[in-house]
A and B are shown apart, each in its own frame.
Chain A
Amino acid sequence: MKDDEYIPFNEEKGTESIKLDRREFLKLLGGGIIISFSVGDLFALQQRRRGSGYPEDFNAYLRIGEDGRISCFTGKIEMGQGIITSLAQMLAEELDVSLNKVDMVMGDTALCPWDAGTFGSRSTKYFGPPLRQAAAEARAVMIQLAAEHLRTSEENLISKDGMILMRKKPKIKVSYAQLAKGKKIERHLEKKPQIKHYSKHTISGKPADRSDGRQKVTGEAKFAGDIRLPGMLFARILRPPAHGANLKNVDTSDAERMKDIQIIRDNDMIAVLHKHRDVADKALGLIKAQFEPSTSKLDNTTIFNHLKDTASDGSVVTEAGNLDEGKSQAGKTFDKAYFNHYVAHAPTENHTAVVKIEGDKATVWASTQAPFRAQGEIARVLGFPSQNVRVITPFVGCGFGGKNQGPQIVEAARLAKLSGKPVQVAWSRKEEFFYDTFRPAAVIEIKSGLNSSNQIVFWEYHNYFAGSRSSQPFYNIPHHRVLSYGGWGGRGGGGSPHPFGVGAWRGPGSNTNVFAIESHVDVMAEAAGMDPLEFRLHNLTDDRMKRVLRAAAKKFGHSFSKAPSGKGYGIACTDYLGTYLATMAEVNVDKRTGEIRVDRVVCAQDTGEVINPEGVRMQIEGCIIMGLGYCLTEEIRFKDGRILDENFDTYEIPRFSWLPKMETVLVDNPEMPPQGCGEPAITSMGAVIANAVYDAIGVRLFVLPMTPARLIEALNKEQNVTGDKNRSIPLPTIS
């Protein structure tokens, strides 16, 4: 078969500029065999329409290089979640190469096609299946080339470990490297080729160690802050003491007297730059500035009332039946409110970016979950065409949604342009806490009722600013309505309900919703006189959820009793965008100090076909540990626009000593396509711990985090409390 018999790439679709982009794009790749394909992530495709000069008929591709190495180019990024390994497994499996032959090229806007960003546990779920098909297509191309090379027909050939062999004479073979040598073939995946049945898998579905392990244990792994360029300056920027506080006057004269310090003032931005970061820090400390006070008068004690007061009209997320009809059937009714405070992402690596400008081109190294969004923003700020801005995403040190936004990238770009030097902006921990897009404080109110057979007959759900993900009931409730009065995002200030920016936080919306839903289910279970597992199974018709609950219960090994049993056992389950999970926990509560000790957590998860069992377990474990933070301690304290928590001395995140015994169960479900697993398990943590605490001491906490002070207060009141004094929201009571 000649090269020209391969499907040429479709040029009719594109405009002139897109065609040029594409040629440049492919030119960068050199020789080898390239399979381009589209990722059928509808969300991503919709996002893409918002303007991008990239070719439209594919948004990912892989290459078999002349050296036989396989490269997968994707705009997705690696921030610890492990897709660098799991996506490579999917590719290696279908292409029949060993895993160590695969290189993942991620988040580089010059080499990788457009991508909306890495969030929502979407990468394996949406990127994986088309990647598999592309790999299968690549394998078919190898077979075709080998047939020509070996002068035989395709049926006589098989692929194995990077080689094509004669089926009956396996000594006659040719390697992928030999086949790719001197070739320049591009093929667009049009049809969906047959992929392997999971039962034939030898790489996918088997535990694989992290492929980035070696780089990360040696210190060789580069993060954005590790980029060093000749002449690079570190910039520190003057910040207001509070959100909404405007600069009144500033005196930079002391800083100006420091040796080799460059000071840049550009509208709202005052920055000091030096070749050493710490010297820039020192110079920043010498700037005297006065700010107007913030107009915000909110703090942690007033925020929940404020949120309810500023809420707009609700919109229906989902509804069924007729609430009045449901209410008429209810013998027992319940009316409760659940609250959670602002929570920080607190990534280990602070927001960082390096920008180098040469002529009308910019190169950017950024700690970001959305390199293409960053590319667009920088192009706009610098007045460059998008294609002149290359964003490279090195390893990212945690994201959790906090790096979807990248104001530090724009800051570095502005300063690079103004200073004429490459500039690094790496936020301090204090800036990280100040400019984080926190998980929003939120209020959930639930009214519900049971009939005489202890079935939930109505469910009325009011969601103030949590975000609606995971708020759809998965229990069998004939009459329900779920209303949302505002989502999880927002810039903060002005007309916004929040005094500062809020945004997606690992499992956005769901953490708050599952806390409320699954706490409330336990409230009803007790009133029904049933144990919480029995009550859930009684009200579920979804067999998949029942199976996950039973799998967790089996591993948990203890039987539940009607709460409070004094045993300290908790349970919660949820459906996170198609991943089902059930979590069970054992806690100990010290009534004297108010401290909650989580001794054991079991999590059973059905995430469909599992690509890397080791990777899934790591994500579940990470979710459990990180989740303990928002359950027990993590709460951003703020007052009048100031963020009072500025570092890990007062903002306590989980440590070694918090570690519970953890057990994970991967519920076998290979027939279902792979679902996401970076976020699901964290969303059940609030409820499972709140329910376990109630089971231990008969006191329910309705506010996250469940700090010792709130627990003591609740104990003292000997009734349900919300943790906030002088609040006008009625205290939750059983009606």
Chain B
Amino acid sequence: MEKNIHFKLNGKDVRLTSSPERMLLWVLRSDLEHTGTKYSCGEGFCGACTVLVNNEAVLSCQYPIQDVSGKEVMTIEGLQQNGKLHPLQTAFMQHNALQCGFCTPGMIMGAYSLLLRNPQPSSREIVEDLEGYLCRCGSYNRIIPAIQTAARTMKGQRS
């Protein structure tokens, strides 16, 4: 049975009719044509589909659309503000913390959620928090300092 579902996507209202058990990933990627969020393992083992729901990182391939009703969803497309890159995006570029770039949107959203909870994470805390995020190209060693660089920039912006 289809239901009307209403939520915010990157600050904009979205209303759609969908069967409630469909996963957020597919609604984002096919119904809403937000393709920045990636499909990779499809079973919650890799982190590539990570988005934020009410500022918490969730695996959108495992997250039913009915659960976003009335909530705020943020995807990689929502990270730039007025065309200005987020410090995490800049830092990933600066550190070349990516190769093929397929895991990057999920990785950045995971890091974003970490920095909300822990604005100055240690390397160890980053490793523990992002353990479920896979990068087959092996950019882990660059992602860690990239997140720390972003954390410093964001601290500077707040103060």
Q: State the A residues within 8 Å of B (CB).
A: 79-82, 209-210, 212-223, 225-226, 228, 234, 275-279, 346-350, 395-398, 426, 428-429, 614, 618, 621-626, 647-649, 653-659, 662
Residues of chain A lying within 8 A (CB to CB) of residue B138: 621-626, 654
Q: How far is the CA of A349 from the CA of B38 in the complex (A)?
A: 8
Q: Is B130 at the interface (CB under 8 A from chain A)?
A: yes
Categorize the interface residue count of chain B: 35 or more
Interface string of B1-34 (1 = CB under 8 A from A): 0000000000000000000001101100111010
**Cross-chain contact B41 with A647 (CB below 8 angstroms):** yes
**Cross-chain contact B131 with A655 (CB below 8 angstroms):** yes
**Cross-chain contact A396 with B100 (CB below 8 angstroms):** yes
**Cross-chain contact A657 with B92 (CB below 8 angstroms):** no
Partner of B131, one of A276, A624, A653, A656: A656
Q: State the B residues within 8 Å of A (CB).
A: 22-23, 25-26, 29-31, 33, 35-43, 45-46, 48, 75-77, 79-80, 85, 88-90, 92-94, 96, 98-105, 108, 126-128, 130-144
**Cross-chain contact B93 with A214 (CB below 8 angstroms):** yes
Residues of chain A lying within 8 A (CB to CB) of residue B108: 217
**Cross-chain contact B134 with A348 (CB below 8 angstroms):** yes
Q: How far is the CA of A396 from the CA of B79 in the complex (A)?
A: 23
Contact of A647 with B43 at beta-carbon distance under 8 Å, contacts A234-B30, A348-B135, A349-B100 already known: yes
B88 vs chain A, min Cβ distance (A): 8
The residue in chain B whose Cβ has the minimal distance to the Cβ of A216 is B101
Partner of A278, one of B22, B45, B105, B128: B22
Q: How far is the CA of A79 from the CA of B136 in the complex (A)?
A: 12
Residues of chain A lying within 8 A (CB to CB) of residue B100: 79-80, 347-349, 395-398
**Cross-chain contact A648 with B46 (CB below 8 angstroms):** yes
The residue in chain B whose Cβ has the minimal distance to the Cβ of A429 is B41
**Cross-chain contact B130 with A656 (CB below 8 angstroms):** yes
Residues of chain A lying within 8 A (CB to CB) of residue B144: 656, 659
**Cross-chain contact A223 with B105 (CB below 8 angstroms):** no
**Cross-chain contact B40 with A218 (CB below 8 angstroms):** no
The residue in chain B whose Cβ has the minimal distance to the Cβ of A79 is B100
**Cross-chain contact B104 with A216 (CB below 8 angstroms):** yes
The residue in chain A whose Cβ has the minimal distance to the Cβ of B138 is A625
The residue in chain A whose Cβ has the minimal distance to the Cβ of B76 is A219
**Cross-chain contact B141 with A625 (CB below 8 angstroms):** yes
Contact of A398 with B127 at beta-carbon distance under 8 Å, contacts A234-B30, A625-B140, A653-B136 already known: no
Residues of chain A lying within 8 A (CB to CB) of residue B29: 225, 277
Contact of A219 with B37 at beta-carbon distance under 8 Å, contacts A348-B48, A398-B102 already known: yes
Contact of A278 with B23 at beta-carbon distance under 8 Å, contacts A213-B96, A217-B89, A428-B42 already known: yes
B73 vs chain A, min Cβ distance (A): 14
Residues of chain B lying within 8 A (CB to CB) of residue A346: 136
**Cross-chain contact B96 with A210 (CB below 8 angstroms):** yes
Partner of B93, one of A213, A277, A278, A395: A213
The residue in chain A whose Cβ has the minimal distance to the Cβ of B26 is A278
**Cross-chain contact B45 with A348 (CB below 8 angstroms):** no
Beyond A348-B135, A395-B102, A659-B141, list 5 extra A-B contacts (CB 8 Å): A210-B98, A350-B40, A395-B101, A618-B139, A657-B128
The residue in chain A whose Cβ has the minimal distance to the Cβ of B43 is A647
Residues of chain B lying within 8 A (CB to CB) of residue A350: 39-40
A213 vs chain B, min Cβ distance (A): 4
Residues of chain A lying within 8 A (CB to CB) of residue B92: 213, 217
Contact of A213 with B36 at beta-carbon distance under 8 Å, contacts A656-B133, A656-B140 already known: no
Select the residue from A213, A216, A622, A657 with max chain B CB neighbours within 10 A: A216
Residues of chain B lying within 8 A (CB to CB) of residue A624: 138
Contact of A276 with B31 at beta-carbon distance under 8 Å, contacts A622-B139, A626-B136, A653-B136 already known: yes
Select the residue from A209, A275, A276 with max chain B CB neighbours within 10 A: A276
Q: How far is the CA of A79 from the CA of B101 in the complex (A)?
A: 9
Partner of B36, one of A212, A219, A658, A662: A219
Residues of chain B lying within 8 A (CB to CB) of residue A397: 38, 100-103
Partner of A618, one of B35, B77, B96, B104: B96
Q: How far is the CA of A219 from the CA of B33 in the complex (A)?
A: 12
A618 vs chain B, min Cβ distance (A): 6
Top 7 A-B residue pairs of the complex, sorted by shortest distance between their CB atoms: A219-B36, A625-B138, A397-B102, A80-B100, A216-B101, A80-B99, A219-B76
Q: How far is the CA of A80 from the CA of B35 in the complex (A)?
A: 19
**Cross-chain contact B134 with A209 (CB below 8 angstroms):** no
Residues of chain B lying within 8 A (CB to CB) of residue A614: 96
A-B contact pairs, 27 of them (CB 8 A): A81-B99, A209-B94, A212-B101, A214-B85, A216-B98, A218-B76, A219-B35, A220-B36, A223-B102, A225-B29, A228-B33, A277-B30, A278-B22, A348-B48, A350-B40, A397-B101, A398-B136, A398-B137, A626-B137, A647-B42, A656-B127, A656-B130, A656-B133, A656-B143, A657-B127, A659-B140, A659-B141
Residues of chain B lying within 8 A (CB to CB) of residue A82: 99
The residue in chain B whose Cβ has the minimal distance to the Cβ of A221 is B101
**Cross-chain contact A659 with B127 (CB below 8 angstroms):** yes
Q: How far is the CA of A398 from the CA of B46 in the complex (A)?
A: 15
Q: How far is the CA of A626 from the CA of B108 in the complex (A)?
A: 21
Contact of A429 with B42 at beta-carbon distance under 8 Å, contacts A218-B36, A278-B26, A395-B100 already known: yes
Q: How far is the CA of A82 from the CA of B96 in the complex (A)?
A: 11
**Cross-chain contact B45 with A648 (CB below 8 angstroms):** yes
**Cross-chain contact A649 with B102 (CB below 8 angstroms):** no
A448 vs chain B, min Cβ distance (A): 33
The residue in chain A whose Cβ has the minimal distance to the Cβ of B133 is A656
Q: How far is the CA of A662 from the CA of B31 in the complex (A)?
A: 43
Select the residue from A210, A228, A395 with max chain B CB neighbours within 10 A: A210
Contact of A649 with B45 at beta-carbon distance under 8 Å, contacts A217-B85, A350-B40, A395-B100 already known: yes
Residues of chain B lying within 8 A (CB to CB) of residue A276: 22, 26, 30-31
**Cross-chain contact B141 with A213 (CB below 8 angstroms):** no
Q: How far is the CA of A397 from the CA of B103 in the complex (A)?
A: 8
A505 vs chain B, min Cβ distance (A): 12
**Cross-chain contact B42 with A80 (CB below 8 angstroms):** no
Q: How far is the CA of A654 from the CA of B99 in the complex (A)?
A: 16
Residues of chain B lying within 8 A (CB to CB) of residue A659: 127, 140-141, 144
Q: How far is the CA of A276 from the CA of B31 in the complex (A)?
A: 7
Residues of chain B lying within 8 A (CB to CB) of residue A223: 38, 102
